[in-house]
A = this chain, B = another copy of it.
Amino acid sequence: MALDTLKDLFLSELRDIYHAENQLLAALPRMAEAAVAPALRDAFIKHLEETEIQVQRLDNVFEALGESARGKRCQGMEGIVEEGKELMAEDGGEPVLDAALIAAAQKVEHYEIAAYGCLVTYAGLLGEPQIAKLLKATLAEEEATDKALTALGESGINQAAVAAGMTEEEEED
Residues of A participating in the B interface, judged by any CB pair closer than 8 Å: 1-9, 12-13, 16, 74-80, 82-83, 87, 90-93, 96-97, 99-100, 102-103, 106-107, 109-111, 113-115, 117-118, 121-122, 125-126, 146, 150, 153-154, 158-159, 161-162, 164-165, 168-169
Contacts and interface: CB of A to CB of B under 8 A. Distances in A.
A49 to B, nearest CB: 22
Q: How many copies does the complex hold?
A: 2
Contact of A90 (B3, B6, B16, B159): B3
Which of A76, A83, A146, A161 gathers most chain B CB within 10 Å? A76
Given A75-B79, A107-B114, A2 B102 contact: no
Contacts of A82: 75
Contact of A122 (B3, B106, B158): B158
Given A76-B107, A111-B107, A118 B96 contact: no
A125 B158 contact: yes
Contact of A3 (B1, B100, B107, B126): B100
Contacts of A7: 165
Which of A16, A75, A121, A164 gathers most chain B CB within 10 Å? A75
Nearest to A118: B103
B96 A4 contact: yes
